[in-house]
Structure 1
Amino acid sequence: MTTVSSHEIRRVGPRFGAEVIGVDLTNAVDPDTTDQLRRALREHKVLVFRDQNLTPDQHVEAVRIFAEPFDHPTAVKDTAHPLAYPYNVRHTGKASTWHIGGLWRSPAFAIESLSYAEVPELGGHTLWADLQAAYDDLSEPFKVLLESVSAVYDANPQNYAQGSKRAAVTETVEHPVVLRHPAGGRKGLFISTSALGLTGVTREEGKVLLDHLLRHASSPDYTIRFGWNPGDFVLWDNQATWHYAVDDYGDGARVYRKVIGVERPGGETGA
């Protein structure tokens, strides 16, 4: 069955972020809606679909609208679908730092997505920050400097696995701190709190630059905030934003499923 929808893209912030009203992702969407959703992700960077209650299969197919679902080498897999990864923060721990997904690989993930099963009664919201807007507000001389700077990250995917004890860093990967987005070419910051350091500058300069960039990119000026109900589905552009799961709910429940998207063969995503 294919769902033909008359839907609304409702902005939730002045810079980015939107809720999609009137699209049922439990069924395949028509080609025109597919194109509109891809354009919406390019424009708004974070899309929220309320009350979807997706099965693992439906979650994977929803991500396939935008990118190629990714087989993570170390993630715990959902028994119902090998490309879906279940999380329960009571067992897996929380991700309460500003971060970008998949920095152990190059390129990093194109998109990430979550489908919520249980959420705390209060709290447990998620923040996103617009890294492209953060870049736009830098001075021109500073932008020129950053063009020659990269950040270094741990390249071992096992160190990002649920419940793993992080081993010593033995292999690293570098990502430029200014990323030209593969869809459209807009420049943005590309930096995460897991950065081990910066290249292209001295160690002392790198510490100062990294601290400034992390604080600047997480400024409230660039953020939006979403709260959740069971059944909600969210996906975001992992190459234009970073995110932070607010840890303000104690030992409350937070159970969700993740599906990751990467570039399709040829270096393109649906987004």
Structure 2
Amino acid sequence: MSTLTTQDTGPVVHRAGPRFGAEITGVDLTRPVDEPTADALREAFAEHKVLVFRGQHLTPAQQVEAVRIFAEPFDHPTALRHPDHPLVYPYDVVKTGKAGTWHIGGLWRTPVFAIESLVYEEVSELGGHTLWADLQAAYDDLSAPFKDLLASVNAVYDGNAANYAQGSRKDAPGPPVEHPVVLEHPLTGRKGLFLSTSAKRLTGVTDQEGKALLDHLLRHASSPDYTIRFGWHPGDFVLWDNQATWHYAIDDYGTGPRRYRKVLATEPLRPATRTA
């Protein structure tokens, strides 16, 4: 049973877009949640891929337990840790820099993180929204011959975990790692594009073909047709399916503040099978 209870109303799903994304109300994640509520949240996550819980103001330990409803938190080998919990990683863009590109987290490892989550502590009064794009919907809209081609293509990334820590110079040498550009989701079996702007090259095709393919796929997967957008207030909690979406933190807030805490997770939990 999950260690995290719910308010009397139970979770209520408010869809953020026609394809994916939702805000959840009726759940207090600062208290334990019972197993039916946890399973309802897992079902919502499997369906909507990005879940936002407003105004939760979770402590570091509560954030870890909230993520544990969905998957086991991940112990990052190189990230700087929060003094109050070793599985929480603090970010302050003034010190760590901004992540102003479309990207997937954890591409230095196989498999990548199943889930990423953030608790916002300080944000600019205006701007600083985050975009997510549905990589599975983007894949669905490709032609059948193009899908056949991509089935044998991999993307090459930097495989050194040290380059993915907060504020790192990202120049530590290390072996590359490859990921398929089409991923079959481990829970749902649904196929989706799986790539990031940090891809160095594609395998299985010539360098010239790979450059053209990568350029097209990055543009296609970031089309507004596949995106949702959320703005933030201190205390908001968000988690997303890192194997079905990619995200982009909009840098339109200049020198304004942006502090948050991250918890990562692997091996997502399946929603319980319902019986009549």
What's the secondary structure of 1:35's corresponding residue? helix
Q: Cα deviations across residues 195-222 of structure 1 (Å, max 9, x unaligned)? A: 0100000000000000000000000000
- Once residues 125 and 200 of structure 1 are traced to their aligned partners in structure 2, the CA distance between those partners, rounded to angstroms, is 37
TM-fit CA distance, 1:163: 1.6
1:185 paired with 2:177, answer: no
How far off is 1:269 after superposition?
A: 3.0
Same amino acid, percent of matched pairs: 72
> Counterpart in 1 of 2:159?
155
- Trace 1:219-234 onto structure 2 (pairs within 5 A): 219-234=223-238
- Does structure 2 retain, via aligned residues, the 8 Å contact 1:126–1:226? yes
Structure 1: runs of 5 or more not aligned: none
* Contact kept in structure 1, 2:162 and 2:172, CA below 8 Å: no
Residue 2 of structure 1 pairs with residue 5 of structure 2: yes
Q: Measure, in 1, the Cα distance between the counterparts of 2:146 and 2:270.
A: 32
Equivalent in the alignment of 1:208? 212
What's the offset of the Cα at 1:166? 2.1
Q: Which amino acid aligns with 1:151?
A: A
Distance in 1 between residues matched to 2:222 and 2:46, nearest whole Å: 21
Query: Secondary structure of the equivalent of 1:51?
Result: coil
Q: Which residue of 2 aligns with 1:104?
A: 108
1:269 maps to which residue? 269
Letter in 2 for 1:230: P
Q: Distance in 1 between matches of 2:136 and 2:195?
A: 11
Q: Secondary structure at the residue paired with 1:260?
A: strand
SS at match of 2:255: coil
- Aligned counterparts of 1:136 and 1:252: Cα–Cα separation in 2: 38
Match of 1:70 among 74, 94, 101: 74
Secondary structure class of the residue paired with 2:109: coil
Shift of 1:270: 4.4
Q: 1:81 aligns with which of 82, 85, 93?
A: 85
Counterpart position of 2:254? 250
TM-score, normalised relative to structure 2: 0.95
Q: Is the 8 A contact 2:5 2:29 kept in 1?
A: no
Displacement of 1:34 in angstroms is 0.5
Matching residue within 16, 33, 39 for 1:12:
16
- Which secondary structure does the structure 2 equivalent of 1:256 belong to? strand
Shift of 1:189: 0.2
1:139 aligned residue? 143
| Aligned counterparts of 1:7 and 1:237: Cα–Cα separation in 2 | 19
* In 1, Cα distance between equivalents of 2:166 and 2:117: 17
Amino acid at match of 1:165: R
1:162 and 1:239 map into 2 onto residues whose CA distance is: 22
Q: Which one of the candidate residues 50, 55, 62 is aligned to 2:54?
A: 50
Indicate yes or no: 2:38 matched with 1:34: yes
Q: Contact 1:110–1:269 (CA<8 Å) still a contact in 2?
A: no
Provide the rounded CA distance (Å) in 1 between the counterparts of 2:87 and 2:72: 10
Letter aligned with residue 76 of structure 2: H
Cα root mean square deviation, aligned: 1.1
**Cα deviation, residue 115, structure 1:** 0.2
8 A contact 2:108–2:160 mirrored in 1: yes
Task: Tell me which residue corresponds to 2:274.
Answer: none
